[in-house]
Amino acid sequence: VNPKTLGSKRIAETLPELRSIKLILAYDGTAYVGWQRQRSGPSLQAALERSLARITGEKTHAVASGRTDAGVHALGQVVSFHTQSRLSPEIFQKALNSDLPRDMAVVSAEEAPPGFHAIRHAVRKRYRYVIHDGSNPDVFGRNYAWHYRSRLNAELMHQAARGWLGTHDFRSFESHWPQRRTSVRTIFDVSAVRRPPPDEDRIDFEVQADGFLYNMVRTMVGTLVEVGRGYRPVEWPAEVVAAQLRKAAGMKAPAHGLFLVNVDYE
């Protein structure tokens, strides 16, 4: 049986001895082409599946809550896979943390609930985007924050972002690929906060929603900095939503400031 040729539900039906394990994964996306296996370079999915194959002897298909792009990081990506192995989740975690590349780590592992699907059953995701607006480059944070070379007004950015709360059609923030059935999403929480000293050169933008369109967070950040820099009024980001037009929004902020923080399930 090749699990890649079967949907996970069908596997669970036809091979009742298969267990499903749920992992919470942290990774530094700098060296990868993104989550998904690609021909153009190393992917996080391929690295995880290689480790799982070494540990279980099985060819395993790992499903993540969603793709992350090249250079995007995760603090709490959720991944599930099926296995016939009898190893406990704790042993999976230890074995993976010994075998995975040093830029990937398993934060926790558990038996997944029956029928669990990391994409379909996700109800909320939270992303963080880190902006570094100090004048000197930060050599240790260079791959983990966007270095914006002018000081930004975080309070105005926060005020502007709060206008996005609730349910709206966010197509103004969607890159054209891939097309989704609907571009209506609900934002449960959103904030932009400057960190206290000694980290006062950093602004954390966080947004939690029932789902995100392609490049939505990065385009939101590129829009908010226009306000933070004083180029646009605080009402403008809400007007961008209303325009329902990609070219109404700001630039797409670079990938390396973006972190998938966590994913909630029913």
Binding mask 6-35 for a copy of itself (x = CB under 8 A): --------------------xxx-------
Residue 137 C-alpha from the chain's centroid: 25
**105 is an interface residue for a copy of itself by CB under 8 A:** yes
- Phi/psi at 126 (5° precision): -125, 130
CB 182 to a copy of itself: min, Å = 34
Q: Is 28 a residue of the active site?
A: no
**104 is an interface residue for a copy of itself by CB under 8 A:** yes
**199 is an interface residue for a copy of itself by CB under 8 A:** no
Of the two residues 70 and 238, which places its CB atom closer to a copy of itself in the complex? 70
Q: Compute how many other C-beta atoms are within 10 angstroms of the C-beta atom of residue 166.
A: 10
**40 is an interface residue for a copy of itself by CB under 8 A:** no
**176 is an interface residue for a copy of itself by CB under 8 A:** no
**107 is an interface residue for a copy of itself by CB under 8 A:** yes
Q: Compute how many other C-beta atoms are within 10 angstroms of the C-beta atom of residue 257.
A: 27
Q: Which stretch binds a copy of itself (CB under 8 A): 130-138, 157-165, 216-224, 227-235?
A: 130-138
Of the two residues 23 and 157, which places its CB atom closer to a copy of itself in the complex? 23
d(Cα 265, Cα 67) in Å, to the nearest integer?
17
**137 is an interface residue for a copy of itself by CB under 8 A:** yes
Contact positions vs a copy of itself (CB under 8 A): 26-28, 73, 97, 102-107, 136-140, 142, 144
Task: List the catalytic residues.
Answer: 69
